[in-house]
Amino acid sequence: MTNGRIPSGIYGLDRLIEGGFRDKTANVVVGSSGTGKTTFAIQFIMHGIENGEQGLYISLEESPSQIMEEAALMGFDMEKHYEENLFFIHLKGQNFKKMIEEQLPALVKARSDYLIKTRVVVDPLTPVIWATPDQLEQRELIGKLFYTVKELGVVLATVEEHAKPGETIGEDVLIPVYLSDGVIHLEYYPVGGAFNRTLQIIKMRGTKHGEGVYPYIFVRGAGIVVRSAPTEVEEVKPGDYSEVFDRAIKTAQSMNAPEHVIEKIKKIRDNWQYPYSPEEVLEILFDSFKLKR
Amino acid sequence: MTNGRIPSGIYGLDRLIEGGFRDKTANVVVGSSGTGKTTFAIQFIMHGIENGEQGLYISLEESPSQIMEEAALMGFDMEKHYEENLFFIHLKGQNFKKMIEEQLPALVKARSDYLIKTRVVVDPLTPVIWATPDQLEQRELIGKLFYTVKELGVVLATVEEHAKPGETIGEDVLIPVYLSDGVIHLEYYPVGGAFNRTLQIIKMRGTKHGEGVYPYIFVRGAGIVVRSAPTEVEEVKPGDYSEVFDRAIKTAQSMNAPEHVIEKIKKIRDNWQYPYSPEEVLEILFDSFKLKR
Amino acid sequence: MTNGRIPSGIYGLDRLIEGGFRDKTANVVVGSSGTGKTTFAIQFIMHGIENGEQGLYISLEESPSQIMEEAALMGFDMEKHYEENLFFIHLKGQNFKKMIEEQLPALVKARSDYLIKTRVVVDPLTPVIWATPDQLEQRELIGKLFYTVKELGVVLATVEEHAKPGETIGEDVLIPVYLSDGVIHLEYYPVGGAFNRTLQIIKMRGTKHGEGVYPYIFVRGAGIVVRSAPTEVEEVKPGDYSEVFDRAIKTAQSMNAPEHVIEKIKKIRDNWQYPYSPEEVLEILFDSFKLKR
Amino acid sequence: MTNGRIPSGIYGLDRLIEGGFRDKTANVVVGSSGTGKTTFAIQFIMHGIENGEQGLYISLEESPSQIMEEAALMGFDMEKHYEENLFFIHLKGQNFKKMIEEQLPALVKARSDYLIKTRVVVDPLTPVIWATPDQLEQRELIGKLFYTVKELGVVLATVEEHAKPGETIGEDVLIPVYLSDGVIHLEYYPVGGAFNRTLQIIKMRGTKHGEGVYPYIFVRGAGIVVRSAPTEVEEVKPGDYSEVFDRAIKTAQSMNAPEHVIEKIKKIRDNWQYPYSPEEVLEILFDSFKLKR
Amino acid sequence: MTNGRIPSGIYGLDRLIEGGFRDKTANVVVGSSGTGKTTFAIQFIMHGIENGEQGLYISLEESPSQIMEEAALMGFDMEKHYEENLFFIHLKGQNFKKMIEEQLPALVKARSDYLIKTRVVVDPLTPVIWATPDQLEQRELIGKLFYTVKELGVVLATVEEHAKPGETIGEDVLIPVYLSDGVIHLEYYPVGGAFNRTLQIIKMRGTKHGEGVYPYIFVRGAGIVVRSAPTEVEEVKPGDYSEVFDRAIKTAQSMNAPEHVIEKIKKIRDNWQYPYSPEEVLEILFDSFKLKR
Amino acid sequence: MTNGRIPSGIYGLDRLIEGGFRDKTANVVVGSSGTGKTTFAIQFIMHGIENGEQGLYISLEESPSQIMEEAALMGFDMEKHYEENLFFIHLKGQNFKKMIEEQLPALVKARSDYLIKTRVVVDPLTPVIWATPDQLEQRELIGKLFYTVKELGVVLATVEEHAKPGETIGEDVLIPVYLSDGVIHLEYYPVGGAFNRTLQIIKMRGTKHGEGVYPYIFVRGAGIVVRSAPTEVEEVKPGDYSEVFDRAIKTAQSMNAPEHVIEKIKKIRDNWQYPYSPEEVLEILFDSFKLKR
């Protein structure tokens, strides 16, 4: 079933989308400020790199060093891969139209000769949308951008959204939603409680996808973890979970898990400050790396 | 009662619209991203082709190969009929106004000499709407488009919608809704549960149509199946339903069902991963092909 | 009380508006797609023709043949009266401003010499509204149109509406509502059940009118039937009601009902596929034709 | 307390506004289609005329004959006073700006020499509002109009409103509401029942006014009757109330009520078709004419 | 704590704002039609005058005589102080931009030489807002106006508002709210009952202010009285409360209250027509004038 | 965990954002009128100054003296540091575009040579937003402003908001929210009660932040105090809490708290007029200054 599917790297997501994204598709992550769109994008691209793929990060707002610094705060070491198999295009302040219509196609043409798999991130796509209120022009610009970078591999674009009350998805992001092959919607209601961050799959062409509302959490060192069922996590006082982690590490080693997986578990252990046991998160992780306990 | 009615090919829909669409009418399928509008369109046109009709697919967004690839993922083999009795017009990036006013009429004139029945799909109509915010111009463009292609046979156009909370149908799709002979509304609320995809018939000229809210599901290999009553499907763990399918295949053979119907049932069998028995879907299918058990 | 009132032809409506419309008034039927505005208009004009009046159908969208074909599907034989006492003006694609300001007055002047009563339909008025977003210009155009055709007799204009949630009537139809003498609002919520089509009388100058929400149904062969009280119709499985119809026909004949009334009852009989008895509808019909049982 | 107050003529209203309107004030009646704004205006001006005052009816939409015809249908004989002490200015299709700035002041100057009390109606003010979307220009035009006609006496202007759900008063009528001395809001929800027409007093400068929601009804022959408390009227089948009326007429005669009051009661008697006793309405009437039983 | 605070003159308000307004601040009273903004302004300015201050009333809509007439109806004798220590600037129809930028600064400069305390009213500020929809221009005009008149003393400006349902304060008054030092919001829901007029303090720079919803009433002869707690006033039939008033007058005299306070109580007595005892209002009054019983 | 974090100075906030703001980030405080945005900004900058840092206050509305006067009313002595280590740039009435693009970078360049830590306040950012409705231009202006001043240290900008009902954050402040590294949302509902002022953290890049709704209060002499849990404060009558304060002062002294902390407690004592004990506030204070009792 997962033939040709490309794992997203977002823990717990792939089992909702038949194993991953389809190759050469453009997927959009939509969410308001603070939902973790950039974390999603970094995690997606780093997953590829850790598995021998290349990554192209088209940044339209922050500089590569800012992005790498934020990645580090979340536990991702982008620096190590910088200019090796992780490349940046920083388009701040440029003329999008010209860039998208002339420069980008040339760049992509040059890269596409290599046979190595490439993941592309456009983060955020928002400035292209804001470049013009004219829907037709937006459609042409974004259509061309998607068309061009899909040549390289799976594309993930992030979009800032401002949904009005009651809307499923913001009216302001209609064009990228319409032009993409897949749409993932992140929501964040800062009102406390265990379910204030949720993920929905709005569309995923050619894919039988999960149709629920899935809670997700941020785990420093791992990234976004999507839980497939909204069952309550027992909230207890933070305790010492090193034993749980050590057991998990030993199990992983006994299954010959690759080194970077072991390191990821160690990082999570060192950063774990949540008031509940990491059991469920570790289980989703093992599942993601196809380690069967 | 079904005199002159053209079966839609959407399983379970025809019994809600007196047997099918009226010939030479323009029908619009309206829905937001992820509701399955393209699946609807592909299923409609393939049903005609499987029954000896011709199909004309006017695509305003994706290329024929992309459409055919997605069709394949859903279990429709469009390639087999490509350029035989399935024809494409791909209008990406063209000047709609000129195309609709000059080229299309010429094209249609050329085709309409043949006496063979033709189904026309316009998927999606959205770029024509977005081409101008001026309602009067929209009306002229879409009016002319419908007028032209209705000459060939039944027309099905898909429209992306962004309904605001509480609206029956999006304000942005008012013009095609107004100008069409029939309007089918698809809705998708990604909140889990068995009834998060529903279909309503907004209008159907000259037809006494169903006036309810009908749940529908996607069945890989079959397409959209509309259920006529919102009774709960018992959700159980996926089981082995091969026996149910084999019995259905035998029954169909004993009734001398055409080969493509048998193949469809086999395809559904191979793709069945739903947590409930396929009995109801098979029943709607038999009903659609007028096989009485 | 019904002095000078002109029966609407809509079964069950006249008893809500003191017997019918006032002569030389402009009345507007407002409703969203699929509410049956054109059915309302056809039924109104045919009622006059069947009673020896003339009808002028000003069509701004469909051709006379399309309208007559749809009328036939609903059980109205317009063809028989075509160019005899039923006349069409088809204004598709014309310059409304010029037409309304110059041609129409001349046409009306020519007709108004005849002494025969005339009903005028403008179906739909919508293109005139959409011709300009400028409220002042709309007001002048529609004001002049109403002023001109009211000279001939009762006018009925249909208007497509897109009401936003909670509005009594759509903001987009404010001008024709304001300029007319009477406004009838049709609503359709496709959610199943017996009361998903309702009629309200928004205003009716110089008339003490019903102020409720009245359900209505479509009866093929008869048209729209307005029920004066929202009492539940018992929904049962469709049965054989030929006996009920035959009794009604005999009763009508015994009361010397005109031939076209007898034929209407027969047509309803041949098309009756509703899951309940036609008793109530027949009663409203008898009442409309002033046949007292 | 009623020193200098001018009775409105609307039965039941004056006791809510300290006896009537203040002289030389501009008062606005706001309501959507079908609320009875014109009835309100006619009743107001006729009350003055029946008591020896003059009336000036500035009509911006219908002709004097149309207005008088509708008045007759409601039981007001305007014709009798036409050009005697009831005068019309019909401004249909004129240039409001020029009229308001030049002609009207001259006209008013000419009239204001007479010492007789004059009531002024502007019905409807709506075309002045629609003449321009520019709030500043609206303000100048309406400000000047009010300023000019207030010189003659009490002014009553009607305004068509389209309130959005939840608004107390429509945003589109903000300017006349702001510029007037008093605002009366009429609402009509055509949903059946006894309280679907209500009146509220939004503002009344220098007046301690009722602050409730008051139901009102139309009584053919009398006009609008405002009920001061929303107590349920017992709905019974229409009966024969001639005895109640005859007793009322005798009582009025014994109190030396003027002839036109007696006639009004007779007219109401002849038109009474409501399913409840006229007791309450007669009481409000006696109260309005200051007849104490 | 009340050092330098300037009593508002609105009975019951000062105890909610640490004793009064701060000197040389601009305060805005926002409310829809009929909330009593002008009453608020008149009461504020008259309070200063009765205590030996000067008042400058900048009127942008009505003439000084209209304002004084309305003040009289509410029980305020402005005439007595006219041109003595109460001055008017009437800006009707003038060019606001020029006035605010050139004339007003000159005027204020001339006045500010006098050492006497001055209260400034701008009533209503609305025309300045409506003079332009451009927020930047509004900001400059109103900013300059506030800046100029704050030189004289406390400023109180009234603003007409049209809040949409659910908004705390209207979007149309955002600029004056933003530019002022204090904002008081008046609301009026004409639905009957004891709490249909309420006051809220939206902001008050440098002041610890009440954060509740406070009901207020109009008392002819006194003006606005703000109640600090929403406890129910027992509604009884109007009675004879002269004894209560006489006792209050005697108490005031025994405390050597100034003559104008005694007169105010007498005026209230003569106008009292409310269906409950004036005890609470008298208590708030005594409190305002710092008379301890 | 707090490595490199810069304490906000807002009592109770830092424990919600991993110890403080990250250096060289732009943080936005969003709130409607009266939420205390300026208090927030003053408290933030004064905290740095009291700890030996420099402060740059970029004021776009009020003059330095107005800001310092208001600060004094809240208990902050800005005057003492004026032009010593607290500097002002007052941009009232200037051309923002030119200032932001040319002058500010030069100014910042000049300052950034010094090695001393600097906090930057932009209060309010609102005029930059209102300078143009064009989102793209807003984005460039604000992006450049943030980019420039982030060079100096942590930036805190305040933004006036007008959220529509149901929105998490106002649509009008989308651009600064999008461009900033952190967003804190203040809300104020003037409806009385203990929880009518609340704070939420909308986003905080690279930070695991609190995701609840946190009530906050103003304490004259201290400023804003954020409570981490919405537990009810027992409301009692104001009492004499000097003993509580004296005990707190002694404890602080015994822990060798710096002099300015002792002074702060004394100021709070002198201004305490709340109807409940200062225990909780003192605890948050001690916690903020890292004094462990």
A160 touches chain F (CB under 8 A): yes
Contacts of D190 in chain C (CB under 8 A): 168, 185, 200-202, 211-213
- Which pLDDT value is given to residue D151? 92
Q: Which residues of F209-233 are buried (b: 16+ CB within 10 A; e: fewer)?
A: bbbbbbbbbebbbbbbbbbeeeeeb
Of E61, E189, E190, the CB nearest to D201: E190
Residue range F151-155: average pLDDT?
95
DSSP classification of residue F221:
T
Q: Mean pLDDT per segment of 10 residues, for chain A of length 293 residues?
A: 80 95 97 96 96 94 94 94 94 79 86 83 94 86 94 96 85 94 95 85 95 92 85 61 92 92 91 82 90 74
Q: Which residues of B touch A205 (CB under 8 A)?
A: 38, 70, 73
Point out the least confidently predicted range of B172-176, C119-123, D288-292: D288-292
Confidence tier at B236 by pLDDT (50, 70, 90): low
For residue C232, pLDDT beyond 70 = no
CB spacing of F165 vs E169 below 8 angstroms: no
Question: Which candidate from C34, C38, C197 shows the least CB-CB separation from B183?
Answer: C34
Q: Which pLDDT value is given to residue F33? A: 95
Min distance A208 CA to chain F CA atoms (Å): 32
Q: Which pLDDT belongs to residue B3? A: 59
Q: Is the pLDDT of residue D1 over 50?
A: no
- Among E167, E185, E213, beta carbon nearest to F192: E213
Give percent helix, percent strand, percent coil of chain D, each to the nearest 5.
40, 20, 40
Can you tell me the distance from the alpha carbon of A118 to that of A52, in angstroms, rounded to the nearest whole number?
A: 10
Assess contact for F229 and F284: CB atoms under 8 A: no
Chain C neighbors of B135, CB-CB under 8 A: 130, 133
pLDDT score, position F1: 36
Please tell me the predicted confidence (pLDDT) of residue C236.
Answer: 55
User: What is the pLDDT confidence band of residue B1, given thresholds at 50, 70 and 90?
Assistant: very low
Nearest-CB residue to E33 (from D140, D164, D177): D177
User: Closest by alpha carbon to B223, among B6, B2, B5, B8?
Assistant: B8
Q: Which band of pLDDT confidence, cut at 50, 70 and 90, is reported for residue F2?
A: very low
Q: Are F265 and F250 in contact (CB under 8 A)?
A: no
pLDDT tier for residue C2 given thresholds of 50, 70 and 90: very low
Question: What does R_g of chain F's alpha carbons equal in angstroms?
Answer: 19
DSSP codes of every residue in E19-64: TSEETT-EEEEEE-TTS-HHHHHHHHHHHHHHTT-EEEEEESSS-H
Nearest to D125 by CA among D57, D206, D225: D57
| pLDDT tens digits along B147-186 | 999 999 999 999 999 988 778 888 899 999 999 999 999 9
Query: Other CB atoms closer than 10 Å to residue D106's CB: what's the count?
Result: 10
F202 has pLDDT over 60 = yes
pLDDT(F94) > 80: no
Q: What is the pLDDT of residues F243-272, one digit of tens each?
A: 999 999 999 999 999 998 999 999 999 888
Cα D189–C202–C128 angle (5° rounding)? 130
CB contact under 8 A, E211 and F190: yes
Minimal-distance CA residue of chain C relative to D62: C179
* pLDDT score recorded for residue C1: 36
Mean pLDDT (chain D) is: 89
Q: How confident is the model at residue E92 (pLDDT cuts 50, 70, 90)?
A: confident
> Which whole number is the average pLDDT over E258-264?
90
Q: Which residue type is seen at B71? A: A
Summarised one tens digit per residue, pLDDT across range E220-256 is 889 999 987 655 555 555 678 889 999 999 999 999 9
- Measure the CA–CA gap between D130 and F53, rounded to whole angstroms: 60
- Kindly report, residue by residue over D126-147, the tens digit of the pLDDT: 999 988 888 888 998 999 999 9
Cβ F190–E169 below 8 Å, yes or no? no
Q: What is the dihedral of CA A102, A107, A108, A114, to 10 degrees?
A: 160
pLDDT (mean) for C11-19: 95
Residues 6+ apart with CB under 8 A from F133: E135
Mean pLDDT value across chain E: 89
The alpha-carbon radius of gyration of chain D (Å, integer) is 19
pLDDT of residue B206: 93
Residue E103 reports pLDDT greater than 50: yes
Question: Between these two residues, C170 and F57, which has the higher pLDDT value?
Answer: F57
Q: Report the percentage of chain D scoring pLDDT > 70.
A: 94
Q: Which of A244-248, D172-176, F100-104, F121-125 has the lowest mean pLDDT?
A: F100-104
For residues A164 and F174, what is the distance between their CA atoms, to the nearest angstrom? 12
Contact E208 F220 (CB under 8 A): yes
Summarize pLDDT for E171-213 with one digit per residue, the tens: 889 999 999 999 999 999 988 776 789 999 999 999 999 999 9
- Kindly tell me the sign of the dihedral angle through the C-alpha atoms of D40, D45, D47, D50: negative
Across the interface, do B167 and C165 touch by the CB < 8 Å criterion? yes
Residue E258 near chain D (CB below 8 Å):
no
Q: Average pLDDT of F46-67?
A: 94
Is the per-residue pLDDT at F237 higher than 50?
Answer: yes
pLDDT in tens, C101-115: 888 898 888 877 677
Closest CA to E221 of E183, E268, E262, E181: E268
Question: Which is higher by pLDDT, E114 or D190?
Answer: D190
CA-angle at B49, arms to B48 and B52, nearest 5°: 90
pLDDT, chain B, mean = 89
Helix (H) or strand (E) holding A58: strand A54-59
Q: Please compute the mean of the pLDDT values over residues E61-74 and round it to a whole number.
A: 94
Place E99 in a pLDDT band, splitting at 50, 70 and 90.
Answer: confident
Cβ atoms of residues E246 and E229 within 8 Å:
no
pLDDT band for B131, please (50, 70, 90 cuts).
confident
pLDDT-wise least confident of B233-237, C173-177, D182-186, E272-276: B233-237
Residue F145: which H helix or E strand, with range? helix F135-149
Over chain F, what is the mean pLDDT?
89
Q: Give chain B as a 3 state SS string.
A: CCCCEECCCCECCHHHCCCCEECCCEEEEEECCCCCHHHHHHHHHHHHHHCCCEEEEEECCCCHHHHHHHHHHHCCCCHHHECCCEEEEECCCCCHHHHHHHHHHHHHHHHCCCCCCEEEEEECCHHHHHCCCCHHHHHHHHHHHHHHHCCCCCEEEEEECCCCCCCCCCHHHHHHHHHCCEEEEEEECCCCCCCCEEEEEEEECCCCCCCCCEEEEEECCCEEEECCCCCCCCCCCCCCCHHHHHHHHHHHHHCCCCHHHHHHHHHHHHHCCCCCCCHHHHHHHHHHCCCCC
Q: Does D108 touch chain E (CB under 8 A)?
A: no
* CA-wise closest residue to C151 among C179, C182, C112: C112
Would you state the pLDDT for residue A273? 77
Please give the Cα distance from C153 to E70 (Å, whole number): 52
For residue range A20-63, what is the model confidence (pLDDT) as tens digits?
999 999 999 999 999 999 999 999 999 999 999 999 999 999 99
Q: Do chains C and F touch (3 or more CB pairs under 8 A)?
A: no
Report how far residue B38's alpha carbon sits from residue B61's, in angstroms, rounded to the nearest whole number.
Answer: 11
| pLDDT at residue number D116 | 87
Q: How many whole angstroms separate alpha carbon E211 and alpha carbon F190?
A: 5
Residue B101 has pLDDT above 90, yes or no: no
Q: Which chains touch A (3 or more CB pairs under 8 A)?
A: B, F
Instruction: State residue A165's pLDDT score.
Output: 76
Q: Are F239 and F25 in contact (CB under 8 A)?
A: no
Model ipTM?
Answer: 0.90
Strand E197-204 with E214-219, pairing: antiparallel
Q: What is the pLDDT of residues B32-45, one digit of tens each?
A: 999 999 999 999 99
In whole angstroms, give the CA distance from residue A124 to residue A118: 19
Q: Which residue has the tokens 């062409």?
A: A205
C18 neighbors C208 (Cβ within 8 angstroms): yes
CA-closest candidate to residue F22, choices A66, B231, D187, E291: A66
**B168/C34 CB distance under 8 A:** no
Q: Is pLDDT larger for residue A252 or for residue B271?
A: A252
Which of helix, strand or coil describes residue F113?
coil
3-state secondary structure of C122: strand
Distance CA A228, CA A186 (A): 15
List, in sequence order, every residue forming a beta bridge with C86; answer none if it has no partner: C55, C82
* C-alpha angle A170-A91-F28 in degrees, rounded to nearest 5: 55
Q: Given this model, what pLDDT does residue B293 score?
A: 63
Q: Where are the alpha helices (DSSP H) in chain C?
A: 37-50, 64-74, 96-98, 104-111, 126-130, 135-149, 174-179, 242-254, 259-271, 279-288
Q: Does any CB of chain F come closer than 8 Å to the CB of residue E164?
A: yes
Nearest-neighbour CA in chain C from D35: distance (Å): 8
Query: Amino acid identity of D279?
Result: E
Give the whole-angstrom CA distance, residue F155 versus residue F182: 10
Residue C192 with chain B: CB contacts under 8 Å: 211-213
Provide the 8-state DSSP code for C101.
I
Tokens representing residue B33 in the block: 């991203």
Q: What span, in angstroms and rounded, lies between the C-alpha atoms of C230 and C215?
A: 6
Cα E256 to its chain centre, rounded Å, is 26
Residue with tokens 């225990």: F279
Q: Distance of alpha carbon A79 from its chain centroid, rounded? A: 18
Pairwise CA distance, residues D247 & E3, whole Å: 72
C244 lies within 8 A of chain B by CB: no
Q: Do D192 and C207 touch (CB under 8 A)?
A: no
Q: Is B238 on the interface with C (CB under 8 A)?
A: no
If pLDDT is split at 50, 70 and 90, which confidence band does E293 have?
Answer: low
Contact F/E (≥3 CB pairs under 8 Å): yes
Strand partners, F158: F29
Residues of chain C with Cβ-Cβ distance to D38 below 8 Å are: 205
Are the Cβ atoms of B32 and A200 closer than 8 angstroms? no
| Interface membership of A189 toward F (CB under 8 Å) | yes
